[in-house]
Structure formats: C-alpha cells, structure tokens
Chain A
Amino acid sequence: MFGYVIRRLLAAIPIALGVSMVCFALVYLAPGDPIQTLLPPDADAETVERLKRLYGLDRPIVIQYAEWLYRVATGDFGRSIANGRPVIEEIQRSLGNTVLLAFLSVLVAFSIAFILGTIAGRKSGTWIDRAVTGVAVLGVSIPNYWLAIVLVIIFSVELMLLPSSGTAGDTFDPTSWEHIQYLILPVITLSMIPVGIIARTTRSAVSEVMNQEFVVTLRANGLPEWRVLKHAIKNALPPVLAVMGLQFGTLMGGSILVETVFAWPGSGYLLSKAILTRDVPVLQGTILVLAMIFVVTNLAVDLFQSTLDPRIRRG
C-alpha cells in the first residue's frame, strides 16, 4: 500500500508540470494582445515597449515560463492587469465559493444517484430500471443554464421563496439560513448532470457485479440479500468514485454559465471576467489552480479506490 501511494504521488509530478506548461502556453496561443487592451489604440510604440518590459513580456518565452513557475511555486501569481490586485487573493476568494458549490453539488448528486443507480442495477430490466435510466438521461440532457433560469423564474420570481442571485457575504456561515438559501438553486442546477452520469455508472457497475459468480457463492452460503448487496456495493464503488472525481473537477472549472446566471462570485465567474478583459495573470493563475485541483482530486480518488479494491495496488 505504502509503495503504491509513493508511486502515485511521483506519477502526479510530471502531470502537474505538463499541466502548468499547457496553462502557460495557452494564453500565448490565444489571439489578442493584453498590452493592447490596456492601452488606448493610438498609443505609440515606445509606450507599448515600456509596458511589455514592465510585465516581462519582452523576454524569451522559456525564461518567462521558468520565472512564472518559480513565482507560482512560491505563491506569487502576479497582479491582475485589470484591477492591479494580487491574483492569489482573487483566486482564493472565488475558489472558496466554487469549491463550496461544486462539493455540495457532487455530494447531493452522489447521494441521490448512488441510491437510484443501485436500485436500478439490482432490478435491471424492470420498469424501475427504465425509470431511473430515464431520469438519468433527462439529467444529462437538460442544459443547466436553461434549468438555472427556469428555477429562478419558479422559485424567485413566482414563488418568491429563494433569492435569485448573489451571496449573503464573503465568508460562508453554514448555520445561517441567510447564507444557505443562496446555495439551494445553484446546487440543484449543478447537480443535475452529475446525478445522471453517476446514476448510470452506478447502475451498470452494480448490475455487472450482481451477475458475477461470487454473488451466487454468497447466496449459497445463506447470506441475506442486504448483505449480498453490501458486498456488491463495495465492488461497484471504485468506478463510481472515479466518475465522481471527474465530475467534481468538471464542476470546479465548468460552471461558468451557471455561476454567471446566479451571479455567484466563483472561479467560473472570475474566469469569464478575465477572458473578456484579457487579464492574462488571472487567467493563467486560475486555470493552473483549477487544473491542480483536478490532478489532486484524481490522485485522491485513485488512493481511495485502492483502499477499496486491493487489485488496483498491483502493477
């Protein structure tokens, strides 16, 4: 087990480095020049040159990357071109909000989808199975920005039960309804796709395990059905966890539209602002941090999977 953990950790390092390179290069591959957005269109060449030097954009790209990596590793993500504030502060504030949203959404999705998927997998081929599959397909197919707007119309505009957008403050207080009410609609919206995906994965994993020979052995030894199901679930969990990790990663970076609809001050919101203003340091920093969270999530899932299934530890 210990050896496996070390191997996985070492394997994550080149992935992280690769990701950082892509993050850095991405901005240079994108069209548009950040200097030109900062300066008025009629700025003279000398001013452009001065500003380029100031931001270090005149040096070879390899040097820029090495310097950027060194600064990033020490926690210095530079300053936002748009508002001059340290990028790290912007990321910290918005990331906390997004992590909260993504974590709750995946948790809610998992709780619902795992139960639905397990029931469907146990009863594969019955009407319950088809109903769950139907719900899953629906969840995956509904565009979530559309759902967000519909939910706002129903619960905020018509029923006036929940706030339509924003947060109650910078720091989240989990005991206060004032804070929680802002989370409800975004979490429902964001959990729809994960519900569909996790339910389908669970369904196929459970139904596959239930057809395995060892289930017959368990029954032949007189185990009651709920104990058989317990064995089956432990066997079905690793692939479901893998999908869950991916969904968490996707929600961390991919909820731009939903965060915009709900004016949720998260990383998606931050990213979309940075893209519109060509705020390169913010863009680089945010993408890098999101990618690292993705890498760390996958690592955590891998390690957790290996505690469930000892066969993963080999090779």
Chain B
Amino acid sequence: MSPLVEVEDLSVNFVTRESNVRAVNGVSFSMMPGEVMCMLGESGSGKSVTMRALMRLLPPKRSVITGKIRIAGQDVLAMDDGTLRRMRGSTVSMIFQEPMTAFDPVMRVGDQIAEVVALHRGVSHKAGRQRALDLFDLVRIPSAQRRLDAYPHELSGGLRQRAMIALALSCEPKLLLADEPTTALDATVQIQVLILLRRLQQELGMSVIFVTHDLGVAAEIADRVAVMYAGRVVETGTVRDVLRSPLHPYTAGLLASTVHDQPRDQDLKTIPGAPPDMRRLPPGCSFAPRCPRMIAECNAGSPPPVTPAPGRIVRCIRVEQPEFA
C-alpha cells in the first residue's frame, strides 16, 4: 500500500517588507491510509501553518511554500486552481479550532453543508440538505432536522463543533485535518467530541492529522505522534514509544510539565526560557538555548534526523550518546 500523505522538506516563510518569518523549516513525514497522527507542540511551533500548507490555505502573496506535498498521489503544490478546489473539502477537509467563527454567521448551518455537498457531488441543494441531515445523525446532533435550520449563533459550542465535523465529513474525505478541534470547548464536551472523532475515524477509515498541544488528547486518539518545535518535527514515533520514553529533550520537557499523577505538593517542572524568535532562528538546534543537555556542538548546525529505533526519528545529536539513549 502506498502512503496517502507524503511531505518532504516542507518549509513555509511569511514574507513582509520588514521581516521574514520562518514558520515551518523542513518538515517531512508520511502517513498511510487510515492512520491517525498527532502533531504536538506549543503555540507558534508551526503545527497549524503546516496543516494549512497541506491544503494551500495560506495567503498566496505573503507566504512562500517550498518542498513537496503529495496527497493521494497528487502533487498539491503543482495543482492549478480548479484541481485544488476539487481537492479541498472532498479528498482533504479541515476542522477548525473555533467553531463559532468557522461558520458563515448569516447562513443556516444546514444550508452551508448542503452548499458544499452540492458543489462537490453535483447534486441539488435539496439532496445536499438530505445529506446534511444524515451527517447530523452521524455526528449525533439531537433533533437534527430542527438544527439544520439553526444559525451558528443558535447552537452551543459542542453542537457547533459537531456541525463543523459534519461539514468536514460531508464528502467523505480520505484525509481529515483537525486543527485543535477541542481547544475552544468545555472539558466535558472536549471528551465527547474526541470520542466522536475516534469513532468516526474507525467507522469511515480515513486518515486524520490531529493538531493539539494537549498530550492527553494525543494519547487518547493517535497512532503516531510528531512533536514540533520552532517549525521542525523534532521527534516522531508511535504514541506509546514517544509518551513512555521520549528521546528528544524537548519532548521529555513537555511530558514533565504536564499534570498527571504527581503528588499535590510537588511543583510542576517547566521548560526554562521561551521559544525562539521565528524571524531570527539560531543557526544550530533551535531548542539548544533551553536544553538541559546542550553541548557546544549543538550550536554548530541544525541536527540531522537520526533513527535510534525502528519507526522513530529524532533530531538531536545527543540521542546517540550512550548515557542518553
């Protein structure tokens, strides 16, 4: 079986007259059909930008995308506008973080779904509405018929996100990009939406890239994890391996700073310092200034990817050192 998604050396620069922000710097990964990958990382690490680059949703004049993106055998960066539009919403679709602002506020949600279905499937608006009704049942929206006629502001946050998922699934995508879909929701609703997404992924067999900064979410839903820092994937591996035995010092720091079963009176460990300025990245490893294991060589050049165990890739020169591996 060939991979569904192949990303090679993807870089995204945001160019303005004053500065050049290197948001993504050489990201490579591939995904098999039906695989669920979590992109972990703090705000500004380039997760969302990578997702938007996959669909070429970044403002074309201000962003420069280089590298290779192949989805379902097609070169995304070489697509003409028509091919790109046919891919968006049908082969690949996206769920956004903030379901309140992701819908057109002056149009009924049922009509917004119907519009997309009618566009990609070439069916009537009425048939699109029927499909929207089925989708509302699929994502377990109660009183689906009535909710089709609701405006976005008339739905609760959880229902809006379910409607967003219904919209994203409307044309049975092969790849679903979920950009922090639970971040804006209440904790109890978060879990419901997560369970729903996992069930839908299993039923429909699509691939999902799930962007989050929440390790718990990653552990819950993903097969594989890619940890991003300063626009690079610093570590990948299966969820089990990465969360149990992180190899990159940043992943280790991220895990140590998360609430799990620590005693109450013990302070959480934090990673000292702040992420680098993406306009002026250090020449060596971007994490070196904050790294507890930093040595002089770390600043020499960007660390190449190494494979310390099958299926794991780490960008850290100290991984091979015996006392660390």
Contacts and interface: CB of A to CB of B under 8 A. Distances in A.
Interface of A: 212-214, 216-224, 227, 231, 234-235, 308-311, 314
B119 A222 contact: yes
A213 B88 contact: no
A214 B85 contact: no
Contacts of A212: 101
Contacts of B308: none
B86 A222 contact: yes
Q: Which 6 A-B pairs have the closest CB atoms?
A: A221-B89, A222-B89, A222-B88, A213-B101, A222-B85, A221-B116
A235 B153 CA distance: 14
Interface in B41-90: 52, 55, 57, 85-90
Interface in B74-113: 85-90, 93-94, 96, 98, 101-107
Tell which of A212, A218, A224, A314 has the most Cβ of chain B within 10 Å: A218
Interface string B118-159: 011000000000000000000000000000000101100000
Given A212-B101, A214-B101, A231-B107, A222 B151 contact: no
Given A212-B101, A216-B96, A223-B116, A234 B57 contact: no
B8 interface: no
B85 A224 contact: yes
A310 B106 contact: yes
A213 to B, nearest CB: 4
Tell which of A219, A220, A310, A314 has the most Cβ of chain B within 10 Å: A220
A309 to B, nearest CB: 5
B96 A222 contact: no
A173 to B, nearest CB: 40
B160 to A, nearest CB: 12
B208 interface: no
Contact of B102 (A213, A234, A308, A311): A213
A37 to B, nearest CB: 55
Given A220-B94, A310-B151, A235 B102 contact: no
Contacts of B94: 217, 220
A219 B88 contact: yes
A223 B57 contact: no
Contacts of B90: 222
A216 B59 CA distance: 10
Given A213-B101, A214-B105, A309-B105, A223 B85 contact: yes
Contacts of B227: none
B167 interface: yes
B115 interface: yes
Nearest to B167: A221
29 contacts: A213-B98, A213-B101, A214-B103, A214-B104, A216-B57, A217-B96, A217-B102, A217-B104, A218-B104, A219-B57, A220-B55, A220-B88, A220-B89, A221-B88, A221-B89, A221-B116, A221-B167, A222-B86, A222-B87, A222-B88, A222-B90, A222-B120, A223-B85, A223-B115, A223-B119, A309-B106, A310-B106, A310-B151, A310-B153
